[in-house]
């Protein structure tokens, strides 16, 4: 019996997760990517702690299930020889100087913890001294809610691990700009052109993030996704051990994520309407640093290493778009995660792989069909 052939267009978190899940199940996978500047995964530092989110319904269920899936995907990657993901459960810290807002957030997390199967860990209210003991650069006068199950991950290292894991299971990569080629009536396979080659497969997955609709033009299809620029700055606190610091959420759009190498990522902007402009801007840099130093003035003397800009695939509906594209046999999409891609991506890619190979839509993604 021949292998099921699948082309995955895009190598961000969505494409890499799908490719890994397909390849480890025995599919013959080809990953095609143009390496466009502005890939969201390349710029992102992920907080894997969805339980305080205001998101509800199926989207929240996917968000929470994505967080719970992380230990499993890390285990699968280790078995494939890809051991570095920069994923670690260092806890998540909600902070505010408004006790009422913190109490509301704590109640939401505790309610969700009761159905999360232990993924949330312990949830407890803490005072100013303990807040700064956990994350020393924070401003005085803040109270917190500490969630021990919160994790963090670096987009670049996780993506690289997933692609390496896919390669371990036989996936190949083609560098170049992919184009879908509408197949003649009755043709048995989907075709993709890339770098002058015609690639033939049983199924094609478009995991091109903000560029998804550009890929879908030849088949006269569109999904409700647009680019949203996010700028995130990386700081270094020389000589400071940041490896155990929790991620910080000031109950706002911005955050602080500490990593093992004395590095703290701060961000991020949410610039809807940015188009495909992946520049770091003066206004964006000012916003990121202003937000960070207002909540954590102790970062003022940190070294500014770099600022990354990525174009998130923002769904007009607020929910991701995942599954087979109606009317175009063998064509699937996975996009629209917005700022939640690093949490949702690995589980969603695994579910889409199951959908393709088993011809049945898993419950995790049933609500997000195109």
Q: Does the pLDDT value for residue 186 go beyond 60?
A: no
Count each helix (H run) and each strand (E run) in the chain, helices first: 9, 20
Examine the domain organization and report whether 311 and 172 are in the same domain: no
**Residue 28 Cα distances to 7, 73, 155, 192, 333, angstroms:** 8, 20, 25, 15, 18
Examine the domain organization and report whether 304 and 232 are in the same domain: yes
> What CATH number does residue 334 fall under?
3.50.50.60
Examine the domain organization and report whether 245 and 310 are in the same domain: yes
Q: Does the pLDDT value for residue 207 go beyond 90?
A: yes
- Can you tell me the mean pLDDT for 320-347? 94
**pLDDT-above-90 percentage for the chain:** 84
CA distance 207 to 223: 12
Number of domains in the chain: 2
CB 143 within 8 A of CB 127: yes
> What CATH number does residue 241 fall under?
3.30.9.10
CA distance 342 to 268: 14
Q: How confident is the model at residue 59 (pLDDT cuts 50, 70, 90)?
A: very high
- Can you tell me the mean pLDDT for 298-319? 96
Examine the domain organization and report whether 310 and 232 are in the same domain: yes
Examine residue 162 and state whether it is found in any structural domain, yes or no: yes
CA 268 to chain centroid, in Å, comes to 14
- Can you tell me the mean pLDDT for 2-11? 93
Examine residue 65 and state whether it is found in any structural domain, yes or no: no
Q: What is the residue whose two structure tokens read 């109640």?
A: 107
Alpha-helix runs per DSSP H in the chain: 13-24, 40-43, 57-79, 99-113, 128-134, 155-168, 212-216, 282-295, 341-358
Read off φ and ψ for residue 177, nearest 5 degrees: -90, 120
Q: How confident is the model at residue 42 (pLDDT cuts 50, 70, 90)?
A: confident
User: Residue 45: what pLDDT?
Assistant: 83
Examine residue 72 and state whether it is found in any structural domain, yes or no: no
Domain range holding 260? Answer: 89-150+226-315
Q: How confident is the model at residue 358 (pLDDT cuts 50, 70, 90)?
A: very high
CB 20 within 8 A of CB 165: yes
Q: How many residues does the chain have?
A: 370
CA distance 201 to 30: 9
Higher pLDDT, 15 or 54: 15
Coil/strand/helix, residue 290: helix
Decide which of 297, 315, 333 is a domain's last residue. Answer: 315
Examine the domain organization and report whether 207 and 293 are in the same domain: no
User: Residue 329: what pLDDT?
Assistant: 84
pLDDT digits (tens, 9 = 90+) for 67-91: 999 999 999 999 999 989 899 999 9
CA R_g for the chain? 21
Examine the domain organization and report whether 180 and 310 are in the same domain: no
Quote the mean pLDDT of the chain: 94
Query: Among 124-133, 150-159, 193-202, 352-361, whose mean pLDDT is lowest?
Result: 193-202
CA distance 215 to 335: 12
CA distance 296 to 265: 12
Examine residue 202 and state whether it is found in any structural domain, yes or no: yes
CA distance 276 to 250: 29
Examine residue 132 and state whether it is found in any structural domain, yes or no: yes
pLDDT digits (tens, 9 = 90+) for 88-127: 999 999 999 999 999 999 999 999 999 988 999 999 999 9
Token representation of residue 258:
């500490």
Q: Can you say whether the dihedral through the CA atoms of 244, 338, 344, 200 is positive or negative? A: negative
What is the distance in angstroms between the CA of the first residue and the CA of the last residue of the chain? 31
Q: Does the pLDDT value for residue 185 go beyond 80?
A: no
- Can you tell me the mean pLDDT for 197-219? 93
Decide which of 315, 338, 358 is a domain's last residue. Answer: 315
Examine the domain organization and report whether 130 and 233 are in the same domain: yes
């Amino acid at each position: 019996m021949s292998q099921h052939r699948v082309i995955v267009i895009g190598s961000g978190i969505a494409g890499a997760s799908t490719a890994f899940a397909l390849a480890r199940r025995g599919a013959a996978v080809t990953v095609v990517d143009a390496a466009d500047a502005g890939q969201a995964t390349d710029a992102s530092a992920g907080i894997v702690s969805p339980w305080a989110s205001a998101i509800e319904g199926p989207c929240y269920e996917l968000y929470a299930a994505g967080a719970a899936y992380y230990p499993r995907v890390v285990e699968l990657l280790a078995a494939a020889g890809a051991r570095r993901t920069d994923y670690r459960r260092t806890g998540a810290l909600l902070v505010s100087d408004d006790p009422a807002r913190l109490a509301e957030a704590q109640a939401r997390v505790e309610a969700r913890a009761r159905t999360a199967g232990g993924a949330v860990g312990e949830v407890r209210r803490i005072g100013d001294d303990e807040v700064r003991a956990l994350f020393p650069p924070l401003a005085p006068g803040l109270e917190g809610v500490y969630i021990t199950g919160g994790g963090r991950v670096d987009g670049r290292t996780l993506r690289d691990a997933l692609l390496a894991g896919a390669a371990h299971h036989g996936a190949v990569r083609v560098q170049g700009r992919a184009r879908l080629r509408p197949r003649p009536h009755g043709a048995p396979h989907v075709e993709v052109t890339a770098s002058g080659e015609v690639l033939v497969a049983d199924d094609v997955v478009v995991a091109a993030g903000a560029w998804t609709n550009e890929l879908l033009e030849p088949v006269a299809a569109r999904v409700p996704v647009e680019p949203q620029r996010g700028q995130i700055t990386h700081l270094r606190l020389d000589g400071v051990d940041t490896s155990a610091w929790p991620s910080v959420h000031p109950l706002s759009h911005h955050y602080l994520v500490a990593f093992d190498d004395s590095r703290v990522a701060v961000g991020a902007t949410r610039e809807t309407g940015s188009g495909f402009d992946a520049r770091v801007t003066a206004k964006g840099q000012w916003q990121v640093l202003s937000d960070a130093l207002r909540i954590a003035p102790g970062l003022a003397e940190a070294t500014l290493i770099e600022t990354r800009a990525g174009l998130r695939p923002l769904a007009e509906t607020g929910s991701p778009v995942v599954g087979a594209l109606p009317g175009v046999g063998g064509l699937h999409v996975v996009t629209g995660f917005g700022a939640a891609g690093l949490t949702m991506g690995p589980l969603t890619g695994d579910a889409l792989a199951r959908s393709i190979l088993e011809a049945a839509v898993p419950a995790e993604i049933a609500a997000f069909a195109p």
